[in-house]
Amino acid sequence: FGGDEFALLITEVDSKAAVVNIAENILQVLAQPFLLAGHDIFVNASIGMVWGEANYVAAEHLLRDADVAMYKAKDCTRHQYRWFESDMHSDAVQLLELETDFRLALDRREFELYYQPIVDLERMKITGFEALVRWQHPSKGLIFPNDFIGFAEDNGFIVELGTQVLEMACAHLADWDRVAGLDPELSVSVNIAPDQLLQPNILSQVEYIIETAGISSRHLRLELTERSIISNGKVVNEVLHALRQRNIRVSIDDFGTGYSALSCLHTLPVSCLKVDRSFVQPITHGSTSLCIVPLSINIAETMRMDVIAEGIENMTQLRQLQKLGCKYGQGFLFQKALPADEALSLLSRPFFSDWSMSRSA
C-alpha cells in the first residue's frame, strides 16, 4: 500500500482469535533477522486489524480503520498488533482536526506572545521578559503551550511556529524601542525547541529576523532545554559558539530536571541557568527544602553565569532565594505573563514600589 505498508485480506475466517493467530505468526517470522550484504538486519512490524462487520459499506473504510489501529499499535510499546475500536476513530478524527486547525492557525497567525517579567531580586527591577506563546483559537479561546507544543514537536510544526515566535518577539522589541526606548540591559528570552535548534539554517534565520526587526542582538536571549543540549552535543556546541560570536546569549531552561548537563556545561558558551520551578516550589523556611537550589546557584556563579529562579509564588521563596544570592527570578508572585502592550506599560512605572505596595495591601 505504501513503501512499507502491506494489507492482508482474510476471507475464510470464523473467529477473531484466528486472526490474532495469523498476526502473531507474521510478527514471529518478521522477528528473525534478514541477512543483507553480510549484516543481520532486524525489522519491526505493527499490525492494525479490523473485523469486517456488515455495517461497513466501502472497502476504503475498512482500510482506513485498519490504518488507524495500525498507528495505535505503533504508539504502543506493549502490543505490536491492535484491533480497531470505535473510539480510536474519534481520536483519529480529533488528531486530524487538530492538524488542520494548526496548519490554519499558522497561516492565519493565530499565535500570540505573552511576556512574563524577569526581575533582578536585589534591585527589584524588571530586567527582561520571557516570551511565552499562546494560541488564540477562534472558537476555543486562549490555549496554553502545554496543550500544543508537544503536538507541534511531534508533527513537524514546531519549526514554523518557532520562526513566527522569534519574528513576533523581535518585532515587539522593535516596537517597544520606538515607543519608549529600550534600556540597554533589557532582554527578551525566547524558548527554542530542540528541532528548531537543529535546523541547518538556524543561525542565518536568527540573524535575518534580528536585522529585519532592526534591533540589537543584545536584547535577545534564547532558552534551550537541557534535553536539546545533551542529545545533540557536537552540533549544538557549534551553534552555541556561533551565537556567542553574534552576541546572542543563551540560557539553559528547566535546569536540574534530570538530564544533568553538568559534564558538558563548562565547555558550552551559556550565559544563564534557569532553576526549574519544581525546585523553587517546595522552598519553605527550612534549609532542607532548598534541595539543589543552592548548588545550582553555586554552579552558575563558578561558571560566571546568571541564575534565574523560575516559579516564585510567595514571599518565603523570594526571601530564601535572596538570602542564597540568587540574582534573578520570575514567577506569579511578581506577575503572570501579559500581552505585549501591558508588558510595555510595566516598564514605564516603578516596578518595586508598585509591587511592594500591592503585596502589603
Task: Check residue 317 for interaction with ligand C2E (CB under 6 A).
Answer: no
Smallest separation, CB 194 to ligand C2E (Å): 9
CA nearest neighbour of 193 among 153, 144, 244, 253? 153
Distance CA 251, CA 223 (A): 5
3-class SS of residue 198: coil
- The cell numbers describing 62, all together, are 475498512
- For residue 273, give the amino acid letter: L
Helix, strand, coil % (nearest 5) of the chain? Answer: 50, 20, 30
Task: Check residue 165 for interaction with ligand C2E (CB under 6 A).
Answer: yes
- Choosing among Mg ion, ligand C2E, none, which partner's interface includes residue 175 (Cβ < 5 to 8 Å by kind)? none
Helix-helix angle 158-180:86-108, to 10 degrees? 40
Residue from 254, 270, 293, 320 touching ligand C2E (CB under 6 A): that is: 254
Residue from 228, 253, 255, 340 touching ligand C2E (CB under 6 A): that is: 253
Cβ nearer to Mg ion, comparing 306 with 310: 310
Smallest separation, CB 274 to ligand C2E (Å): 7
Smallest separation, CB 203 to Mg ion (Å): 21
- Residue 297, CA distances (Å) to 29, 70, 251 in order: 56, 48, 14
Which residues, 177 to 206, sit near Mg ion by CB under 5 A? Answer: 191
CB atoms within 10 A of CB 16: 11
CB 250 within 8 A of CB 301: no
Cβ nearer to Mg ion, comparing 67 with 253: 253
Q: How many residues bind Mg ion (CB under 5 A)?
A: 5
Spell out, one character per residue from 217 to 246, where the chain touches ligand C2E: x when CB under 6 A holds, - when not.
------x-----------------------
Per CB under 5 A, which region of 1-9, 245-253, 319-327, 328-336 contacts Mg ion?
245-253
Task: Check residue 210 for interaction with ligand C2E (CB under 6 A).
Answer: no
Task: Check residue 149 for interaction with ligand C2E (CB under 6 A).
Answer: yes
Contacts of 280 (CB under 8 A, 6+ apart): 293, 309, 310, 311, 312, 317, 321, 331
Spell out, one character per residue from 310 to 329, where the chain touches Mg ion: x when CB under 5 A holds, - when not.
x-------------------
Task: Check residue 337 for interaction with ligand C2E (CB under 6 A).
Answer: yes
Q: Dihedral sign, CA of 51, 54, 55, 59? A: positive
Task: Check residue 226 for interaction with Mg ion (CB under 5 A).
Answer: no
Distance CA 207, CA 226 (A): 23
Task: Check residue 119 for interaction with ligand C2E (CB under 6 A).
Answer: no
Distance CA 34, CA 40 (A): 6
Distance CA 142, CA 133 (A): 10
Report the interface residues with Mg ion, using CB under 5 A. Answer: 191, 223, 253-254, 310
Report the interface residues with ligand C2E, using CB under 6 A. Answer: 116, 132-133, 144-146, 149, 162, 165, 191, 193, 223, 253-254, 277, 310-313, 330-332, 337
